[in-house]
Structure 1
């Protein structure tokens, strides 16, 4: 009986994940049509996505989600995308004159103004109907101080990052001997990239999909370093793709001489971002493999 129950829970979790994935695709579709349809249509479609998301969120139990963390990640990703899309809608509405801070201020003033005095009771009633009590648990340690331990942990983390960054990037990869480990890694990555682009008709590759190793975060960091070195050497370029995330492409021969200096950019890369991108691009295996190729 227990086995049947577990199988049922797994099937339901898989169904919820697929429905969340469909809603994520629906959100992307709304974003693509953001500039060509009315604000009202966009808000109606977004409202429909949110309502369906709420229905999915109400299904299952906390235990189910603890056992299927990928479902939670997909749920969080959808929530984030909905918030970002709502922000874009407000921004677009402001530019088109549909919504402005002045209109918002006037609406508040009309709501609270009562015979010359401000009465915030209407807002209180709205807030009480919407707000939910936050459940919190107090620690049995009381006000126990852990600043010294936290400081020591941060110092160790900073030293570790400094040691990892100690391996200096080779100034010119082509002219270094094969005995230089730094040059070897860059050459290995460049060789793999050249093959990938050739196989893919030189089409751009999503940056996060390229660098992320879903099973090893340190490999992901290493891949990001090597890609940065290649960008600095004008071998590849990183640009914004259609999904608003960075993508990597080969540098054309006419660009090599035209571009004298590279432009610095910041791409967030932490465990949380990696988990989000693993779900976003459905990454199951790393595209770049450095360690196993070093002796080739």
Structure 2
């Protein structure tokens, strides 16, 4: 096949596709213009449009024409949905006048043989309507079962035999409910740990007959665990709050020493100061390096 014949076939094919696209566009435009008319009940416009589209789809081989076919189907589906809604709405409309006329015709049908003047109203046979409606309401009565006997005797409550032992009753006494503390076990554990740390501190500071203060950080910091260091500071804070230990500063270094009973009574008359210690992981490592802490003086709990 020569090159000229190939070009001629391509031009013929392009012309066919151009006409096909033109037909699709004209159908889409026609459907959009007649949308309200096609959506009316009884209209066959959508059916005719789909039949034409079924004939055109046979010549569609490219995406460009397939896009136009899909646009036509989308427009047709919208109209079909609207037409279905209109048919449903039309079926729900009740014509009162038509119903009255039909009812009058039905009730007066037996009087057609009687002569009635134009000025007189035709009598209506309402009994006929009653007989016709009777079949819709005629039914066998259902059986209703009674639950239990007609006369129900009240149940007598049995009185339980109470113990003969009676507690002494104090008149006008206020009885308070027992308070249950869910954190009692945790509080007991904390109290025991605080007491244990105080004993460790007392043995470390006891030299001869005196109590010598020791470095606070050497006592509280655990160089192997940041978490246990925080726990130690937490328990030491209870000792400080209860006045069982004293914090002093010597040469810008805090020191801790336990207080005996006599010292506690004297410390109550002294001015007390509260201090908040901020400790993060970096500060914890710097304190270990600065004070050369290689072991924890507070042994871990067993």
TM-score (norm 2): 0.35
Higher relative contact order (CA 8 A, sep 6+): 1
* Higher helix proportion: 1
TM-score (norm 1): 0.36
Computing the radius of gyration from Cα coordinates, the structure with the larger value is 2
